[in-house]
Amino acid sequence: MLQFIDLTKRYGKADPPALQDFSLTVEEGEFVVLLGRSGAGKSTLIRCANGLIRPTSGEVRWKGESVTRAKKEELLKLRAGMGMIFQQFQLISRLDVLTNVMVGRFHHLPLWRSLTGTFPPEVVETAREALHRVGIGHLARQRADGLSGGQQQRVAIARVLVQRPKLLLGDEPVASLDPVTADAILRLLKEIHRHEKMTTILNLHDVHMARRVATRIVGIRNGRLVFDGKPEELDESRVWDIYRPDDDCCRPFLVHESQPPVSHVLLRV
Ligand SMILES: Nc1ncnc2c1ncn2[C@@H]1O[C@H](COP(=O)(O)OP(=O)(O)OP(=O)(O)O)[C@@H](O)[C@H]1O
Ligand SMILES: [Mg+2]
């Protein structure tokens, strides 16, 4: 179970809070999609989950252990069970695909292996299996920077798979991809989730995709939770609650009868 307990995060003393009194409990095996406008606090929340960001107040607990109060060593241990994928893939560009995936196992290996790039045969085998699993086994020896965005995200997912995390965090993992590739990556994540049952939390900017993949959708607005429910409960008015501008200026245009529903409009922005 992942618990966000009364989180508030201020980056600067004078800044408005990026998260404010935010509480949420995510049960094991859920597939949660976070929705919210740009600046709503989605990335801040995701990064609080694995301790990349410390909240100003409040606490994050993973399986009962405090991520927020964990000392460096404890935090590294906790993070070993948490995988993360990013919008920009975060691969090591000059290394080949297979080596990039094996980096996912560094925390299990002695330091000298990491430094010399010498991996035990079982790690190589596991990495190859992961690459096959995400459909790019044939690219194992290609340099990471020679791949398309979709292929690079598959490498990043394979890297997470070898880590065997119990929690998968994704900060806009498909935002840099064309719609068809984005769809393929989300299907892959959904298939992995079905198989591994790892708790999954993704930020997405696409309401339609969120409804398709999530078991639960959480809406964030100005750092506060404004929606928490099943995908089928996210109707047009709730989408509007999440995305409306603070001054409500554009509502007449978005909800005019001749206009498509808000979620369709949002799909196209
Ligand atoms: N490192 C930082 N320093 C200062 N302010 C920050 C920092 N990171 C985020 N913020 C601010 O905190 C608020 C929430 O940002 P966050 O990145 O969490 O939003 P987001 O929902 O992920 O937005 P987006 O959809 O654009 O990625 C914003 O006002 C942002 O400007
Ligand atoms: Mg973000």
Q: What residues does 221 pair with on adjacent strands? A: 224
Q: Please tell me the total count of domains within the chain.
A: 1
CA distance 11 to 74: 24
Distance CA 266, CA 269 (A): 5
Examine residue 106 and state whether it is found in any structural domain, yes or no: yes
Whether 69 is in a domain gets the answer no
Residue minimizing CA distance to atom 28 of ligand 1: 39
Per-residue pLDDT tens for 123-156? 899 999 999 999 999 999 999 999 999 999 999 9
Mean residue pLDDT of the chain comes to 89
pLDDT at 263 > cutoff 60: no
Domain that holds residue 201: 24-43+89-268
Is the predicted pLDDT of residue 53 greater than 90, yes or no? yes
12 Cα–ligand 1 center, Å: 12
Q: CB-hemisphere CA count at 13 Å for 12?
A: 2
Q: Is the pLDDT of residue 195 over 60?
A: yes
Distance CA 251, CA 45 (A): 28
Predicted pLDDT of residue 105: 72
The residue to mutate among 42, 45, 176, having the most atoms of ligand 1 within 8 angstroms of its beta carbon, is 42
Q: Residue 159: give its domain's CATH number.
A: 3.40.50.300
Distance CA 136, CA 257 (A): 46
Residue 53 falls inside a structural domain: no
Tell me whether residue 66 is in a domain: no
Query: Rounded mean pLDDT of 68-87?
Result: 93
Pocket around ligand 1 at a 6 A CB cut-off: 11, 18, 36, 38-44
According to the model, what pLDDT value does residue 144 have? 94
- Let me know if residue 2 belongs to a domain: no
For the chain, what percent of residues have pLDDT higher than 70?
87
Closest atom, ligand 1, to C-alpha of 15? 5
